[in-house]
Structure 1
Amino acid sequence: MHRQVTECRICKGEGLAVLLELGTQALTGVFPRRPDPQLTKGPLTLARCDNCGLVQLLHSYERDELYGPHYGYRSSLNRRMVDHLESKALALKSAANLRPGDVVVDIGSNDGTLLSFFSGENLSLLGFDPSAARWRGNYPADSSLIADFFTADLYRGALGRRKARVVTSIAMFYDLERPLDFAYEVADILADDGVWHLEQSYLPAMLRVNAYDTICHEHVEYYALAQIKWLADKVGLAILDVEFNDVNGGSFAVTLGRNRRIAPRGEDRVERSLDEERRLGLDTLRPFAEFRSRVLAHRHQLRARLEDIRARGARVLGYGASTKGNVILQFAGIDRDLLPAIAEVNEDKFGCVTPGTWIPIISEADARARKPDYFLVFPWHFRAGIVEREAAYLAAGGRLMFPLPTIDVVSA
């Protein structure tokens, strides 16, 4: 089920200008066991609020269809993501000067990877995630999991009146239908000397690297720092610092709190970043029109490249069955005629098919046994690590095709 929104999700402004339409797609984060014509479908249409500038989906979907036992992403299966989360935990422990007994909360805790790096230090660790019940055994023994969506009431039911020194929400804040309400609830549980650290895709980076595969049914907002500041101001928090990285095609990590002494040098970075966003013209439609033109051209270029490979009698398989990949596949109309199968490391997805395009998902071992001439790499944003990981495949004459930022083929 889906519905069209008629007002901005944060400021309630009613002017929403359409920026990009990726067509009607089957839910991009669902991997059914077999082709299912009844799988929920809906538009992926990007719009921008005329009032506050928030870029967001024009439609909303039932969260119980997006999350739960069928949700497939796991942080622990990607070495680079594990390293990223470990470094984040170390930095937050230092910035917040955590002491025994302090409360650390991870909202959207997935399989417990981030919480594991706070373990063993006599902290009170609590995770919230509606999809995490099946991964409970992966959580550190000194942590608790609430397998549900975060609310301040659920938090207080677990920890009473104790306040959190660190709250993290990694790659989930852009999934919220009511982000302002969520921010108020986080502010309510946050200690006066606590920090809320949220990381998500960065809108200017998405535009710069043509990462239209970030646009999926579960990601309903696409933030720049200006919109985070708008939210922070509303709930009585300050932006203490901002950092940028290339995770997931380009993300930004924002630290919020009430005590500026936690990050004394962060204020300058925040102001410079806001100035840069103004320089990019994000308050106009120009950068979005240019993005749309590049995206439409890319669809035709990618399909033409795959058709050429097939015409030459070469074989190409997919690499990494992912939500992002499903966006590209459905937008470009790529099915098993062009891509017979997709190699995957997550055993939970073996034997499943991609939504809408119904491409079989197989193990990496099975994929290698087919000796493909090319792998089309959907987690392209982990390029360096994948090239290193596939050194033997490349040395044997194989080729890795990265679809974005532009189509590029790597060989030995």
Structure 2
Amino acid sequence: MNNNHNLSNGKITCCQICSNKELINVINLGHQAPCDSLIWPEQLNQPEKRYPLNLQRCKECGLVQIDHVVEPQELFFAEYPYRSGITSTLANNLRNTASTIVKRYQLPKGGLAVDLGSNDGTLLEGFQKENMKVLGFEPTNIANLANEKGIKTIQKFFNDSLVPEIIKKYGKAEVITACNMFAHVSQLGSLIMGAENLLVDNGLFVTESHYLLDLIDTVQYDSIYHEHLKYYSVKSIIKLFEYYNFTVIDIDRIPNYGGSIRVYAKKGKSHEVSTKVENLLKEEVDRGLYNNLIYEDFKNKIKKSKLQLQNLILDGKNNNLKIVGIGCPGRATTLLSYCNLDADALDYIAEQSTSLKLGLFTPGTYIPIVDERIMFEDQPDIAIILSWHYWEPIVEKLRAKGLKSKIIIPLPEVRIID
């Protein structure tokens, strides 16, 4: 079967899974800077690279995808500012994921668990606690943090060419995980073939990605950025694994990142498949996920939410209110850029004191990122939560620390919390 699983940089002209050339435009979010290309103070007067950010869907397999590949080294550069263990909610989710996988599939003690895009090793800590050997692959300098914690991590992009040496040194893997990175990979064919060759017979490959239906239901246009090449439905991810020696045996819908799917694929082609898979496929059809109407509605809701947020901020500025942002996830770049919100709109963005982003500026909009202690001293009139998909625990912590500002939740529609 023809496929387009190993992409070249630049414009994409056919589906990233099935190579179909009939792609339908969903929305154009303009030219944007890569979401994590934060600006150092000395770079503020230098040119900044921006790339097209257009969302399309394949009429054949249903994959929703962006239409431009940015060179991976420009997205996942050595000084990558994201740590998976920096929030307790996310860290606990990752460790619990490891425990769930081990118990559900009765993985053997002493077996090897490999995590791709392992970041600071938080997920692998969970496998370690289940008495498994662990190995991570992380292309950025965050790998150093994992190694310092005793989580063996190789600072490289994982691909099939590395597998013979890995097997020679560490043996074959019982389980391979790819959480919140499976949609990021331009050389996906090489990654999946590598996973297939590294796994033992009947070994388990577990991926987590944003779920297309949740993205649409919650108007999460801010999770559309250059790192995320694909937005999987159940139909499209099953189609992807059909090209390889894997069977999708089960799928969980999980709340991570505003709504994701955890996909369990087993090496081999003759495995029993959970009824949940068929039920999810039916739900997608019943919801009209493969018709134009749902995408037209999605586009209209995006435009409406943009205008709501712009009007609220404009009204605040006209009344001399101080407005700030809270949290600077990658998704904030898309929201701020699409809504044309820069340092004239937000005085600053507050981050935790341990954040690697302090002292930098947002890409494309040049808003300073400061220690949250400044915000608690300032008590601004309005604070917009940019990690809105975790807004409830964030608001609880902010109020407990004494923040009195009105809080804005920007999506799926603008809400004000006094």
User: What do residues 137-159 of structure 1 show as CA deviations (whole Å, max 9, x unaligned)?
Assistant: 33475532111111133233133
CA distance in 2, matches of 1:330, 1:155: 40
Among 377, 398, 411, the alignment partner of 1:404 is: 411
CA distance in 2, matches of 1:159, 1:147: 17
CA distance in 2, matches of 1:121, 1:79: 20
Among 383, 388, 409, the alignment partner of 1:380 is: 388
User: What do residues 153-181 of structure 1 show as CA deviations (whole Å, max 9, x unaligned)?
Assistant: 32331332832111100000111224344
CA distance in 2, matches of 1:205, 1:257: 25
CA contact (8 A) 1:107 1:169 kept: yes
Residue 339 of structure 1 aligns with which residue?
346
Give 3-state SS (helix, strand or coil) of 2:54's partner.
strand
Among 60, 67, 78, the alignment partner of 2:76 is: 67
Tell me how far 1:261 sits from its aligned partner: 11
CA distance in 2, matches of 1:171, 1:257: 19
AA paired with 1:279? D
CA, structure 1 residues 43+253, in 2 after alignment: closer, same or farther (shift >3 Å)?
Answer: same
CA distance in 1, matches of 2:35, 2:267: 38
CA contact (8 A) 2:379 2:403 kept: no
Tell me how far 1:53 sits from its aligned partner: 1.7
TM-score normalised to the size of structure 1?
A: 0.93
CA, structure 1 residues 159+143, in 2 after alignment: closer, same or farther (shift >3 Å)?
Answer: farther
Residue 206 of structure 1 aligns with which residue?
215
Tell me how far 1:4 sits from its aligned partner: 1.1
Tell me how far 1:275 sits from its aligned partner: 0.6
Among 109, 114, 117, the alignment partner of 1:108 is: 117
More displaced stretch, 141-150 vs 235-244: 141-150
CA contact (8 A) 2:167 2:198 kept: no
CA contact (8 A) 1:18 1:45 kept: yes
**Aligned Cα root-mean-square deviation (Å):** 2.1
Q: Within the alignment, does 1:224 sit opposite 2:241 as a pair?
A: no
More displaced stretch, 222-231 vs 88-97: 88-97
TM-score normalised to the size of structure 2?
A: 0.92
CA contact (8 A) 2:127 2:133 kept: no
CA contact (8 A) 1:375 1:401 kept: yes
Among 294, 315, 318, the alignment partner of 2:325 is: 318
Give 3-state SS (helix, strand or coil) of 1:333's partner.
coil
Give 3-state SS (helix, strand or coil) of 1:148's partner.
coil
CA contact (8 A) 1:75 1:113 kept: yes
Residue 4 of structure 2 aligns with which residue?
none
Residue 303 of structure 2 aligns with which residue?
296
CA distance in 1, matches of 2:299, 2:263: 27
CA distance in 1, matches of 2:363, 2:171: 43
Residue 198 of structure 2 aligns with which residue?
189
CA contact (8 A) 1:99 1:123 kept: yes
Name stretches of at least 5 consecutive residues in structure 1 with no aligned partner: none
Among 368, 371, 375, the alignment partner of 1:363 is: 371
CA contact (8 A) 1:244 1:251 kept: yes
AA paired with 2:51? G
CA distance in 1, matches of 2:381, 2:270: 55
CA distance in 2, matches of 1:181, 1:135: 21
Residue 18 of structure 2 aligns with which residue?
11
Residue 108 of structure 2 aligns with which residue?
99
User: What do residues 283-316 of structure 1 show as CA deviations (whole Å, max 9, x unaligned)?
Assistant: 2222111101111121111111011112222211
Give 3-state SS (helix, strand or coil) of 1:348's partner.
coil
CA contact (8 A) 1:112 1:127 kept: yes
CA contact (8 A) 2:143 2:154 kept: no
Tell me how far 1:2 sits from its aligned partner: 6.1
Q: Within the alignment, does 1:240 sit opposite 2:252 as a pair?
A: no
Give 3-state SS (helix, strand or coil) of 2:156's partner.
coil
CA, structure 1 residues 10+135, in 2 after alignment: closer, same or farther (shift >3 Å)?
Answer: same
Residue 312 of structure 2 aligns with which residue?
305
CA contact (8 A) 1:115 1:140 kept: no
CA contact (8 A) 2:384 2:410 kept: yes
Tell me how far 1:184 sits from its aligned partner: 2.5
Among 277, 285, 290, the alignment partner of 1:283 is: 290
AA paired with 2:411? L
- Residues paired across the two proteins, number: 407
Tell me how far 1:225 sits from its aligned partner: 0.8
Give 3-state SS (helix, strand or coil) of 2:263's partner.
strand
Among 136, 157, 162, the alignment partner of 1:154 is: 162
CA distance in 1, matches of 2:46, 2:286: 46
AA paired with 1:8? C
User: What do residues 32-57 of structure 1 show as CA deviations (whole Å, max 9, x unaligned)?
Assistant: 11325422101110011222221111
Identity fraction in percent: 29
CA distance in 2, matches of 1:205, 1:37: 38
Tell me how far 1:134 sits from its aligned partner: 4.0
User: What do residues 79-120 of structure 1 show as CA deviations (whole Å, max 9, x unaligned)?
Assistant: 111111111111111123232331100001011111111225
CA distance in 2, matches of 1:310, 1:155: 56
User: What do residues 292-344 of structure 1 show as CA deviations (whole Å, max 9, x unaligned)?
Assistant: 11111211111110111122222111000121111010000001111010001
AA paired with 1:344? E
CA, structure 1 residues 37+44, in 2 after alignment: closer, same or farther (shift >3 Å)?
Answer: farther
Give 3-state SS (helix, strand or coil) of 2:128's partner.
coil
